[in-house]
Chains A and B, each alone.
Chain A
Amino acid sequence: MRTTDILRTAARALRGNRLRSALTTLGIIIGVASVVVMVAVGAGTQAAIKDEIEKLGASVIMVIPGSANAAGARLGAGTRPTLSDDDAAAIRDDASGIVTAAASMAGVAHLATAIDNWSSGVYGVTEEYFIARDWKLVAGRQIDEQDVATGAKVVMLGATTAEKVFGDADPIGQTIRVNQLPMEVIGLLARKGQTMDGSDLDDVGVVPLSTARDQLFGRSTAKTRSVSMITVKAESEQQIEEAIAEVREVLRFQHRLTPGQADDFRINNVAESARLQEESSAALTQLLAAIASISLLVGGIGIMNIMLVSVTERTREIGVRMAIGARPATILAQFLAEATILSVAGGIAGAAAGFAGAIVAETNFGMRVELTGEPVVLAFLFSALVGLVFGLYPAMRAARKSPMEALRYE
């Protein structure tokens, strides 16, 4: 028999038993749909985490001063002003595998205009900071070398801060008082959004490092060139571990630490925790997909069950077909085609249902989903395979029947 004849015969047999075919397919539909939804939701979660990493800076390392040790009581990270401009310069010059290193100071300042006032975190930075944080400008200009050298009274605002103090007005060129110090707004920073723990990355003001040190927060009496943080950007996410080792080496040399001595600074891999989260979410996605695949398997068993019933019911038909010349292989192909059509139809319907389910999850439950073709194609191929595998045994039972006995079957 020709392939088209076999397919037509199989389709006809399935159409003859519509309800049964539909119910049998349901198992596969649910299986494929759940795989597609699980993978879409899992991929969505991972994409959300990836964005988070992106926001924090995938290849950013933060160096903060170490702990002060006051008569044996350690006061915590950042309590001793061990880092300075020179350290940042040394890292830039000597550490390999990094793009840049930017020294900065952080504090909180009160910002006031004629319109409104607001307290924001304010960073004193050098021009490298924008490269290190990969922070773009949406209007105006960035703080440049000149500003830092002269201690210019200029400020750049984050999106949230700008809204708080200027409302809808254009802040560029306006004057704003930062802790009573009048400064010119020279630029607006691009929106970065929120981190997963809810802190707003746009609630900031940025001023030249020298301005912050000399006029806003005041110099440390112990070390006049100290900074509260050095932000280092590694060349890539993959090279981050090497970059950390390089930075540590440079800083230990700078601080003249002997091999036995502990670091007097701390290095934080910013995106590390987010990356761990990503890994665990990937593992969870795989687990969910695996569980969903089990329902595909159950669907396959359903197909096998119905095909066995069908083969028994149609024993006489098999006998007649054999009597008029059907080869065992043709009978096998016919029943195998029936099982595969069932499962492939289920695969198509299931993929559609999965897409619909993912869209419902996104619009009604606010879940982030990521629909790609790959899991759909995989689920589809897998369902076809399920049909072939679970259809094989019933089809073999049909093909092995003796024509005489099959014809005599009541």
Chain B
Amino acid sequence: MALIRLDRIGKRYGVGDAPVEALREVSLEVVGGDSVAIMGPSGSGKSTLLGILGCLDIPTSGNYLLLGEEVGRMSRPELAELRCRRFGFVFQNFNLLPRLTALENVELPLAYARQRPALRRAKAAAALARVGLSDRMSHYPSQLSGGQQQRVAIARALVNEPDLILADEPTGALDTVTGREILRLLDEVNAGGTTVVVVTHDRDIAARMRRTITLTDGRVTSDSRAQVRINSTSPVRAVFP
């Protein structure tokens, strides 16, 4: 069964004379473990699509099946539960809570999943270790560099062991070198079996993904699958030589 199945999803913003059709009849499937890049020019509906995939937004038409379940029928608390357990989000501007330390930021999804404080702390520390930030646990976001903040955000996205990581321009606010580190981290996550969907307008990033979906004016205009992994340091190969 596909992890995600979108059937003629439409999203319209605004009402009255000038509604904006952000998505028109988008149908696609995403299988578990895949890595997908969503590309397209500004205003093509990439972020809207990501929001709908992550149940942050509700489509105005069409059906969304997540693991065979109809998302449209779910209540807001059920959607919150999905975001909590199934998805991990990584944003362009990191979106860490400024008044919480790195560790507390990573603990937050576990707190929302109502886990015990001791267990939470252990899991969050492990997730931070996984992104290489064991020595920055009690730092506040303002005390961390952009790349470090994004790594904290990735740890936060991973900590609940989600099925799907949704990243919106994860390297958009970072320099090339730091950005590459973040991408390597996402590759690793994907290699561990977690599906990764990345919104980007950077071809190099898209090239690292196995599948690239291009949107134009809210429609899927191309959907291609890379035959050969271009990057020789692909973690897939690294893990499965």
Task: State the A residues within 8 Å of B (CB).
Answer: 1-2, 5, 12-13, 16, 316-317, 319-330, 402-404, 407
Kindly list 11 other residue pairs between chains A and B, CB separation below 8 angstroms, not including A1-B111, A325-B83: A1-B114, A16-B99, A316-B95, A320-B95, A321-B112, A323-B89, A326-B84, A326-B112, A327-B81, A330-B112, A407-B51
- Given A2-B111, A13-B99, A16-B99, A403 and B57 touching (CB < 8 A)? yes
Q: Contact: A325 with B85, CB < 8 Å?
A: yes
- Given A1-B111, A1-B112, A404-B51, A324 and B56 touching (CB < 8 A)? no
Contacts of A327 in B (CB 8 A): 76-77, 80-81, 112
Q: How near does chain A come to B166, taking the closest CB pair, in angstroms?
A: 9
Q: Which residue of B lies closest to A327 (CB)?
A: B80
Q: List 20 A-B contacts (CB under 8 A).
A: A2-B111, A12-B100, A13-B99, A16-B99, A320-B95, A321-B97, A321-B108, A325-B81, A325-B84, A325-B85, A326-B80, A326-B84, A326-B112, A327-B76, A327-B77, A327-B80, A328-B77, A402-B57, A407-B51, A407-B95
Contacts of B95 in A (CB 8 A): 316, 319-320, 323, 407
Contacts of B156 in A (CB 8 A): 324
Contacts of B85 in A (CB 8 A): 325
The 0/1 profile, CB within 8 Å of A marked 1, for residues 77-115 of chain B is: 100110111000101000111011000000011011110
Does B150 have its Cβ within 8 Å of any Cβ on chain A?
no
Bound Cα distance A320, B51 (Å) = 12
Q: Which residue of B lies closest to A17 (CB)?
A: B99
Residues 114-152 of B at the A interface (beta carbon under 8 Å): 114
Q: Contact: B89 with A324, CB < 8 Å?
A: yes
Contacts of B81 in A (CB 8 A): 325, 327
Contacts of B112 in A (CB 8 A): 1, 321, 324-327, 330
Contacts of B76 in A (CB 8 A): 327-328
Q: Contact: A322 with B99, CB < 8 Å?
A: no
Task: State the B residues within 8 Å of A (CB).
Answer: 51, 54, 56-58, 76-77, 80-81, 83-85, 89, 91, 95-97, 99-100, 108-109, 111-114, 156, 160
Q: Which residue of A lies closest to B84 (CB)?
A: A325
Bound Cα distance A1, B95 (Å) = 20
Bound Cα distance A105, B206 (Å) = 115
Out of B54, B99, B109, name the residue touching A12 (CB < 8 Å): B99
Contacts of B96 in A (CB 8 A): 320
Q: How near does chain B come to A330, taking the closest CB pair, in angstroms?
A: 7
Q: Contact: A325 with B113, CB < 8 Å?
A: yes
- Given A2-B111, A2-B114, A329-B77, A323 and B97 touching (CB < 8 A)? no
Q: Contact: B57 with A404, CB < 8 Å?
A: yes
Q: How near does chain A come to B193, taking the closest CB pair, in angstroms?
A: 21
Contacts of A316 in B (CB 8 A): 95
Contacts of A321 in B (CB 8 A): 97, 108, 112
Q: Contact: A325 with B91, CB < 8 Å?
A: no
Contacts of B111 in A (CB 8 A): 1-2, 5
Q: Which residue of B lies closest to A314 (CB)?
A: B97
Bound Cα distance A407, B81 (Å) = 18
Contacts of B84 in A (CB 8 A): 324-326
Q: How near does chain B come to A146, taking the closest CB pair, in angstroms?
A: 86
Contacts of B56 in A (CB 8 A): 322-323, 402-404, 407
Q: Contact: B108 with A324, CB < 8 Å?
A: yes
Bound Cα distance A5, B100 (Å) = 13
Bound Cα distance A325, B83 (Å) = 5
Bound Cα distance A317, B100 (Å) = 12
Bound Cα distance A323, B168 (Å) = 13
Contacts of A5 in B (CB 8 A): 111
Q: Which residue of B lies closest to A408 (CB)?
A: B47
Contacts of A407 in B (CB 8 A): 51, 56, 91, 95
Contacts of A324 in B (CB 8 A): 83-84, 89, 108-109, 112, 156
Q: Contact: A323 with B54, CB < 8 Å?
A: yes
Q: Which residue of B lies closest to A16 (CB)?
A: B99
Bound Cα distance A403, B166 (Å) = 15
Q: Contact: A323 with B83, CB < 8 Å?
A: yes
Contacts of A12 in B (CB 8 A): 99-100
Bound Cα distance A321, B113 (Å) = 12
Q: Contact: A325 with B77, CB < 8 Å?
A: no
Bound Cα distance A320, B89 (Å) = 9
Q: How near does chain A come to B169, taking the closest CB pair, in angstroms?
A: 13
Q: Which residue of B lies closest to A403 (CB)?
A: B56
Bound Cα distance A207, B69 (Å) = 103
Contacts of A323 in B (CB 8 A): 54, 56, 83, 89, 95
Bound Cα distance A328, B57 (Å) = 14
Bound Cα distance A323, B166 (Å) = 11
Q: Contact: B99 with A325, CB < 8 Å?
A: no
Bound Cα distance A326, B76 (Å) = 10
Contacts of B100 in A (CB 8 A): 12
* Among all A-B residue pairs, the 10 with the closest Cβ atoms: A325-B84, A404-B57, A325-B112, A327-B80, A403-B56, A404-B56, A404-B51, A324-B109, A320-B95, A327-B77
Bound Cα distance A410, B103 (Å) = 26
Bound Cα distance A320, B77 (Å) = 15
Q: Contact: A320 with B54, CB < 8 Å?
A: no
Bound Cα distance A321, B201 (Å) = 27
Contacts of A328 in B (CB 8 A): 76-77, 80
Bound Cα distance A308, B104 (Å) = 26
Q: Which residue of A lies closest to B78 (CB)?
A: A327
Bound Cα distance A2, B110 (Å) = 11
Q: Contact: A325 with B51, CB < 8 Å?
A: no
Bound Cα distance A326, B114 (Å) = 10
Contacts of A403 in B (CB 8 A): 56-57, 83
Q: How near does chain B come to A354, taking the closest CB pair, in angstroms?
A: 33
